[in-house]
């Protein structure tokens, strides 16, 4: 089972070492941009607003942020994050394990053997094209990862041999030592907390219960992913020791730059040069969209360089949602550099008929220059 998740730091457009002030400032800026009141009826903005609010709710809290930095989105699954203070879930052990890893077991009142921890989570970085991010992609990856030893089935013992109770801790997995007025409890150094000792280690895995083997996995990339999107393959991480549950595999996506389009969320941007005659008289142009269809853009007469035209619904798909973003075309009026004699003649005729009213911005500028000069000479 896989889940697609967007990195909280990517959502807020901050680095992972950003301080509380930077995170708060980034959240306010994005919240104002995507707030539903400023974008009425826009489901994309509403979804984005919910995502950045969720990201800020996590990163503004030091405890939640620490858990997220260590475990990612998995820290708030299996009953941990929704209530803001629930248990870590079976995936990360209980809170006692955290104190034990820092202070030892002096805080624990138990005495039971230590449970085998789940395997480590793994990271895999994948680069995809913008076209693949638009359409989605089904692919396979091959990685070398620790998997349960088939010879001993994860037990760590050579087939035909067994285990016996640890003599050091009498099967408890922990030993106690007197230190002044305190009794300190620690993991047994002989059985490493398992309470049992293997009589003869498995030759295939050397008693670890797992071996490194190549693994080919299928990955489904949904349409609309972006750089920073993570896909989680549950149970495809490193195998846990001695038959413990495996960790997860996280695939981090990186979208390559496109030759024509740039991307901001679900919005695609491109810069289109047009002739000065088209800019003056108006017309239309066609550019290919990401879906392969030709997009017709109407150019109004008198358009200037830098003007942006928007084509609704011609951008990137909304990740795990409906609809598409917009395509924004920035116009660049190109001045001709190679003219024939006839074309130059026609332009001179045009120049002779100019009154200044054709270009109000130029006329207005030079009028202001004239007024400013008059004020200086008076």
Residue with the larger pLDDT of the pair 243 and 333 = 333
Give the helix ranges, DSSP H, for 35-137: 43-59, 62-71, 95-103, 130-135
Going across the sheet that includes 267-275, the strands are 262-264, 267-275, 327-334, 308-311
Report the distance separating Cα 134 and Cα 80, nearest Å. Answer: 33
Mean pLDDT of 125-152: 90
Direct distance between the N- and C-terminal alpha carbons of the chain, in angstroms, rounded to an integer: 81
Task: Please tell me the predicted confidence (pLDDT) of residue 80.
Answer: 40
Mean pLDDT of all residues in the chain? Answer: 80
* pLDDT value of position 310: 94
* Per-residue confidence (pLDDT) for residue 136, from 0 to 100: 94
Per-residue confidence band for 146, with pLDDT thresholds at 50, 70 and 90: confident
Architecture of domain 107-256: Ribbon (2.10)
Structure tokens at 177: 């030592």
Q: Is 302 left (phi over 0), alpha (psi -120 to 50) or beta?
A: left
Residue pLDDT, tens place only, 282-306: 999 999 999 989 999 999 999 999 9
Strands 327-334 and 267-275: parallel
How far is C-alpha 175 from the chain's CA centre? 44
Domain with CATH 2.60.260.20 in the chain: 262-377
d(CA 238, CA 29): 40
**Residue of 127 and 378 predicted with greater confidence:** 127
CATH class of 262-377: mainly beta
Q: Is the pLDDT of residue 113 over 90?
A: no
CB 314 within 8 Å of CB 268: yes
Domain ranges in the chain with CATH number 2.10.230.10:
107-256
pLDDT tier at 332 (50, 70, 90 boundaries)? Answer: very high
pTM > 0.75: no
Residue 109's alpha-carbon distances to 93, 112, 183, 364, in angstroms, are 17, 9, 11, 84
Whether the per-residue pLDDT at 102 is higher than 50: the answer is no
């Amino acid at each position: 089972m896989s889940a697609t998740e967007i990195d909280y730091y990517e959502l807020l457009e901050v680095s992972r070492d950003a301080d509380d002030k930077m995170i708060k400032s980034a959240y306010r800026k994005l919240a104002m941009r995507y707030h539903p009141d400023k974008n009425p009826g826009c489901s994309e903005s509403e979804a984005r607003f919910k995502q950045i609010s969720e990201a800020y709710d996590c990163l503004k809290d030091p405890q939640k942020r620490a858990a997220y930095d260590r475990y990612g989105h998995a820290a708030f699954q299996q009953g941990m994050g929704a209530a803001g203070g629930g248990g870590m879930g079976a995936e990360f052990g209980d809170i006692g394990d955290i104190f034990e890893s820092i202070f030892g077991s002096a805080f624990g009142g138990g005495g039971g053997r230590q449970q085998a921890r789940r395997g480590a989570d793994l990271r895999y970085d994948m680069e995809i094209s913008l076209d693949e991010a638009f359409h989605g992609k089904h692919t396979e990856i091959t990685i070398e990862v620790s998997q349960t030893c088939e010879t001993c089935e994860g037990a760590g013992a050579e087939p035909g041999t067994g285990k016996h109770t640890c003599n050091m801790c009498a099967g408890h997995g922990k030993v106690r030592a007197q230190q002044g007025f305190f009794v300190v409890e620690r993991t047994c150094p002989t059985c490493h907390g398992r309470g049992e000792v293997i009589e003869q280690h498995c030759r295939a895995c050397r008693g670890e219960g797992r071996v490194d083997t190549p693994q080919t996995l299928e990955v489904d990339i949904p349409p609309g992913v972006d750089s920073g999107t993570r896909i989680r393959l549950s149970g495809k991480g490193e195998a846990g020791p001695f038959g413990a549950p495996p960790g997860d595999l996280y695939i981090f996506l990186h979208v390559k730059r496109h030759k024509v389009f740039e991307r901001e969320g679900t919005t695609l941007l491109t810069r289109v040069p047009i002739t000065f005659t088209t800019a003056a008289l108006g017309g239309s142009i066609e550019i290919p969209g990401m879906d392969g269809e030709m997009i017709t853009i109407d150019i109004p007469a008198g358009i200037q360089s830098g003007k942006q035209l928007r084509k609704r619904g011609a951008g990137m798909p909304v990740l795990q949602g409906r609809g598409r973003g917009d395509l924004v075309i920035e116009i660049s009026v190109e001045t001709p550099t190679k003219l024939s004699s006839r074309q130059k003649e026609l332009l001179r005729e045009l120049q002779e008929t100019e009154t200044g009213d054709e270009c109000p911005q130029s006329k207005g500028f030079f009028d202001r220059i004239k007024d400013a000069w008059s004020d200086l000479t008076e």
